Amino acid sequence: MKKSTLTHEITENSAQTFSTYSLPKQLKSLGKCAIFLLLSLFSGMNAVAEAELKNKQSVRSIIVNYDGQIPKQKLSKFAKGKNEAQLFAFDAINQLETLQIERKTREQVMAERKLEHLNKVNQSFDALASENSSSQSGKSQAIREYLEFDIYSANSRLFEDNDSDGFYQTFSVSFDADVYGAYAGQRAQVFADLYLSRDGGPWELYFTTESFTIFDDTDEDEFEVLTTLDLGFSTQHYDVLIDLYEVGYSDIVATVSGEQLDSLYALPLESADRDIYVVETVTTSVSIGAGSFSSFMIIGLLIVFTLRILFTKKD
Mean pLDDT of 108-135: 78
Whether residue 122 sits in one domain with residue 42:
no
Residue 284: per-residue pLDDT: 54
Residue 102: per-residue pLDDT: 86
pLDDT band at 93 (very low <50, low <70, confident <90, very high): confident
Residue 277: per-residue pLDDT: 78
Residue 311 or residue 52, greater confidence: 311
Mean pLDDT of 272-290: 66
Q: Is the pLDDT of residue 128 over 60?
A: yes
Whether residue 233 sits in one domain with residue 112:
yes
Q: Is the pLDDT of residue 292 over 80?
A: no
- Position 88 in a domain: yes
Whether residue 66 sits in one domain with residue 105:
yes
Q: Which phi and psi (to 5°) does residue 277 adopt?
A: -80, 125
Whether residue 191 sits in one domain with residue 113:
yes
- Position 174 in a domain: yes
Q: Is the pLDDT of residue 246 over 90?
A: yes
- Position 300 in a domain: no
Highest-scoring range by mean pLDDT, 5-9, 126-130, 260-264: 260-264
- Position 185 in a domain: yes
- Position 65 in a domain: yes
Whether residue 25 sits in one domain with residue 67:
no
Residue 164 or residue 138, greater confidence: 164
Q: What is the pLDDT of residues 143-158, one digit of tens each?
A: 567 899 999 999 999 9
d(CA 79, CA 224): 14
Residue 276: per-residue pLDDT: 87
- Position 299 in a domain: no
Whether residue 71 sits in one domain with residue 13:
no
Q: Is the pLDDT of residue 18 over 50?
A: no
Task: Name the burial class of residue 227, with classes exposed (0-12), middle (13-18) and buried (19+) by CB atoms within 10 angstroms of its CB.
Answer: buried
d(CA 240, CA 155): 10
At 241, which CATH number?
A: 2.60.40.10
Whether residue 155 sits in one domain with residue 8:
no
User: Which segment of 6-15, 54-63, 219-228 scores lowest on mean pLDDT?
Assistant: 6-15
pTM for the whole structure: 0.67
Residue 112 or residue 44, greater confidence: 112
* Final residue belonging to a domain, choices 229, 249, 269: 269
Residue 29 or residue 210, greater confidence: 210
Task: Name the burial class of residue 24, with classes exposed (0-12), middle (13-18) and buried (19+) by CB atoms within 10 angstroms of its CB.
Answer: exposed
Residue 33 or residue 145, greater confidence: 145
Question: Which residue range forms the structural domain that includes residue 159?
Answer: 57-269
Mean pLDDT of 168-193: 94
* Final residue belonging to a domain, choices 12, 34, 54: 54
Whether residue 64 sits in one domain with residue 31:
no
Whether residue 61 sits in one domain with residue 152:
yes
Buried-state track 50-88, b at ≥16 Cβ within 10 A, e below 16: eeeeeeebbbbbbbbebeeeeeeeebeeebeebbebbee
Q: Is the pLDDT of residue 133 over 90?
A: no
Distant-in-sequence, close-in-space partners of 271: CB < 8 Å, separation ≥ 6 = 57, 58, 169, 229, 230, 231, 232, 233, 234
Average pLDDT over the chain, rounded to an integer: 76
How many structural domains comprise the chain?
2
Whether residue 33 sits in one domain with residue 161:
no
Whether residue 69 sits in one domain with residue 47:
no
- Position 208 in a domain: yes
- Position 303 in a domain: no
Whether residue 260 sits in one domain with residue 232:
yes
Residue 280: per-residue pLDDT: 61
